[in-house]
Amino acid sequence: MRVFLALLTYFSYFFIVFMYTLKIVEYLKMPLHLRWELYPVIPEERFKYGGSYMEEPLFWEKKRRRSLLRGLLFLLKDYFVLSEYFKRKRSYWLSLYPWHVGFITIILFHISCFFSGLLMLLGFRLSPSSSLVGSAFYYTTVSLGLLSFLTGLFGSVGILIKRLEDADLRLYAAPMNFLTYVFTILVFSSGLYAFFLDPSLEEYRHFWEGLLSLRFVDVSRETAIHIILFSLFLIYLPFTRSIHYITRILGFFLIRWDDRPNKRGGEIEGLLERELERKVDWAAPHVKRGVSWKENALSL
Amino acid sequence: MKIKELSRPKDLFCEIRREELIGLPYPFDRLEDIPEIGILPEEKRERFEVSLDGVMAVGIPKPKDKEEEERFIRGFISGLRKLLSKDDNWTFLQPLFHSLEYCVKCQICSDSCPVYIASGRKEIYRPTFRAEVLRRIMGRYVKNRRGLLSRFAAGDFELTFTALARLCELAYRCTLCRRCAQVCPLGIDNGLIAHEIRKVFSQELGIAPKELHELGTMQQLKVGSSTGITPKALANIIAFMEEDIEEKTRKRIKIPVDKEGAEVLLLHNAGEFLSWPENTEAFAIIFEVAGIDWTLSSELAGYDAVNYGVWYDDIQLARIAVRHAEIARALKVKKINVGECGHAHKAMIVVADRVLTGELNIPRESALPLLEDIVVKEKIKLDPRKNDFPVTLHDPCNMVRLMGIVEPQRRILRKICTDFREMEPHGVENYCCGGGSGFAIMQTANFPDWRSLVSGRMKLKQILEVFQDVISRDANKYVCAPCSNCKGQIRDLFSFYNVWEKCRIFYGGLAELIVNAMVDLEKPFIEWVWR
């Protein structure tokens, strides 16, 4: 059992990282698209009212002042607030927010478990009465675990009810959406159950120590069930829309905020030259089929 | 209602009822005073598939037999595959992929859509509805998810002629204002999905509203303008404008045409020459007085800034953008300035920025910052007391939300008007006039009724609200709309509801207001005559 648990955990982490990487690479390898930005563009200087550099005469002669950091912070901040939902759909936010807090904290919980395991391997003792580092990691792990299981469970039950009860949401939901909610209920509730049986999460830290040292350990049935469910959930996630955590950042920077002007002789122009050589296969009568975009643009 | 029911034949899939539409302020608060959407004649209903909402924007003829129906469906599926191909759709592949793959269907965007809200929340107009239909079709017919898997992962959908023809019409019930995209925390753009559906119909099946394609981009490239104005007709119009300027202002101005090496090539929407020559005249007066070295072009398509391709067809978009740039290059101008036309701004300055390369990559900018420069630096003498009537500003989506040109027009208005008031919401959160994405020029069958009753309703509501304290006929009021298509839509809206007669609310461009404030004009430039 312990070997199975360990292998499943290794595999699930490898699988999700591999699949997410594939998806991100696929996303990034897509061709340069036409500009389709939408204001406000947060990295822009005039972001407060949604202005752009095109408000200035002869803007191509002037230096653009952009802050990518501001854009990144804007997006990161919203992971912890979900402000548009709070502003526009409060009843949905009430479930969505704890659901997402559950996800964020379960990731942090596992990161914390990883470092706890590492510290234990290095000889640290992790308990309320141990050294500053030991007790800090102890409390961090326990509180993150508890917070994750509680908020995640509350959120996943709430969002399931909301999807069923709200006709606007139900109409667009596919059975897979409900499977996801049920799956998350199982993951968070199994975690909470395991926590009640082992409030110090001692087993969990030892499990991670074993994963890191390759000296796998046995855990109780309840903890094992949670580990299995969580691992299966990680394997399941790439088949859902969950990667929107990452693609959201890509989408904002590469599409919604992509207002980079095409300067003569610049990098974008070089990329464009290549795109314009692509052959067109559209079949409508006004399209010249089989010739390049450039030739199409130059012809009638 | 279920989404898959869009496939099922039914005389009317969704009925638009006047009593369900969002209410309007005084004096349009009485339901019985508002006209209904005209019912299409029997002959049209027999011949065309118009069962979506009883409105006809495109009008796809019903197939004669099963074979024609299947050919149509096969063509659409083939188009969908091209939509996902790097070669055929490099132009929008990444944004489309993002919006198709990562929408979580939270419906947070719905309340931001003026069409959905104004219609009384008709499900078919919800921003996510057409996206969901496309997603399901993609899942089953392009990604080949069949049976249980299809139903489990994405929800089922059967592709029929009825479904496709309704989807095509539905792509023309979204003004592409992209207000929905603006509120999406995940960056999903349902407006883009409507745009991409239009593209499949146009680029693969050759189906588009005739005002956009046949009378639009094709006519512009062949005749010179979507208005039908030929270079010869333009010469007559310019002569008329010069006479009219002299009559109104006593200024003798020679409008420069095809002046080689000019600083500025000014591109107007040719609709201005025909319907609002006072706008093009105002530009000529301002540029003359401010000493701008400028020119118009008389080349085919060079005197019409429009680029309807931006709404439905990337190839047509590229052809017109290239044509405009070629004309500018041949004239050896330093830059192109786009006049008061929102979609031409976006097409020429923003979207075509990734079409034009090398010598065609000529600097292009909006005329608004240039006007602001002239006004703020007092290159012409202005007196705001000459504009002593209430003025509000309509923000064209293409200039504002989609381009970020928000403040120049405001700084001008604050300087030249005594009573400038903002609609709510405004700026990048504005509401579309209801004529966006080609609607303003689409006059087929009962479509104009729909755009006055549904898509333009939020804008009318805003206009009435902002002038509510002076709504009576006693005072003239002015809606400044620095965009030809918006003006066309506002003209039609006002005619439909009789706004000028009932409330004395007029509309026009920004340049006219500037000229109206010029101290050396003896009589007002704005004539307050409803045409």
Each residue's pLDDT expressed in tens, for chain B with a length of 531 residues = 889 999 999 999 999 999 999 999 999 999 888 888 999 999 999 999 999 999 999 999 999 999 999 999 999 999 999 999 999 999 999 999 999 999 999 999 999 999 999 999 999 999 999 999 999 999 999 988 777 777 777 778 899 999 999 999 999 999 999 999 999 999 999 999 999 999 999 999 999 999 999 999 999 999 999 999 999 999 999 999 999 999 999 999 999 999 999 999 999 999 999 999 999 999 999 999 999 999 999 999 999 999 999 999 999 999 999 999 999 999 999 999 999 999 999 999 999 999 999 999 999 999 999 999 999 999 999 999 999 999 999 999 999 999 999 999 999 999 999 999 999 999 999 999 999 999 999 999 999 999 999 999 999 999 999 999 999 999 999 999 999 999 999 999 999 999 999 999 999 999 999 999 999 999 999 999 998
Helix (H, G, I), strand (E, B) or coil at B470: helix
As given in the structure block, the two tokens for residue A89 are 């759909």
Residues of chain A contacting B333 with CB distance shorter than 8 Å: none
What's the predicted TM-score (pTM) here? 0.95
CA-closest candidate to residue A280, choices A257, A262, A298, A261:
A298
Helix (H, G, I), strand (E, B) or coil at A243: coil
As given in the structure block, the two tokens for residue B293 are 């070295």
Residues B75 and B106 in one domain: yes
Q: What mean pLDDT is reported for chain B?
A: 96
Percent of chain A with pLDDT over 70: 100
Residues of chain A contacting B357 with CB distance shorter than 8 Å: 262, 269, 272-273, 276
Question: What are the residue ranges spanned by the domains of chain A?
Answer: 2-35+82-237, 274-298
As given in the structure block, the two tokens for residue A122 are 């290095």
Residue A37 near residue B405 (C-beta atoms within 8 A): no
Residues B362 and B399 in one domain: no
- Among B86, B98, B190, the strongest candidate for a mutation testing the A interface, having the largest count of A CBs within 10 A, is B98
Nearest C-alpha of chain A: how many angstroms from B320? Answer: 8
**B24: how many CB neighbours lie within 10 A of its CB?**
20
Q: Residue B27: is the preceding peptide bond cis (ω within 30°)? A: yes
pLDDT for the residue A125: 87
CATH of domain A2-35+82-237: 1.20.950.20
d(CA A200, CA A177): 33
As given in the structure block, the two tokens for residue B454 are 């549904």
Q: Is residue B282 part of a domain?
A: yes
Q: Is residue B529 part of a domain?
A: no
Give buried/exposed letters for A150-160 (b at 16+ CB in 10 A, else e).
bbbbbbbbbbb
pLDDT for the residue B145: 76
Nearest C-alpha of chain B: how many angstroms from A16? Answer: 17
d(CA B509, CA B490): 12
Of B185, B192, B202, the CB nearest to A82: B185
Q: Is residue B86 part of a domain?
A: yes
Residues B410 and B321 in one domain: no
- Domain boundary (B160, B183, B205) is at B205
Nearest C-alpha of chain B: how many angstroms from A273? Answer: 7
- In this predicted model, what pLDDT tens digit does every residue of A227-269 receive, in sequence order? 999 999 999 999 998 899 899 999 999 999 999 999 999 999 9
Residue A297 near residue B355 (C-beta atoms within 8 A): yes
d(CA B128, CA B188): 10
Q: Is residue B108 part of a domain?
A: yes
Residue type, B349: I
Complex ipTM, two decimals?
Answer: 0.95
Residues B168 and B266 in one domain: no
Nearest C-alpha of chain B: how many angstroms from A152? Answer: 18
Q: Is residue B24 part of a domain?
A: yes
Of B353, B373, B400, the CB nearest to A262: B353
pLDDT for the residue B43: 92
Q: Is residue B15 part of a domain?
A: yes
pLDDT for the residue B531: 81
> In degrees rounded to 5, what are phi and psi of residue B366?
-75, 150
Residues B290 and B433 in one domain: no
Domain that holds residue B201: 3-205
Task: Compute the C-alpha angle A203/A204/A207, nearest 5°.
Answer: 85
Residue type, B505: I
- In this predicted model, what pLDDT tens digit does every residue of B354-371 receive, in sequence order? 999 999 999 999 999 999
Residues B98 and B200 in one domain: yes
Residues B335 and B390 in one domain: no
Of A56, A269, A300, the CB nearest to B369: A56
Of A38, A174, A244, the CB nearest to B102: A244
- In this predicted model, what pLDDT tens digit does every residue of B72-105 receive, in sequence order? 999 999 999 999 999 999 999 999 999 999 999 9
Helix axes A221-236 and A202-213, enclosed angle (nearest 10)? 60
Residues B337 and B436 in one domain: no
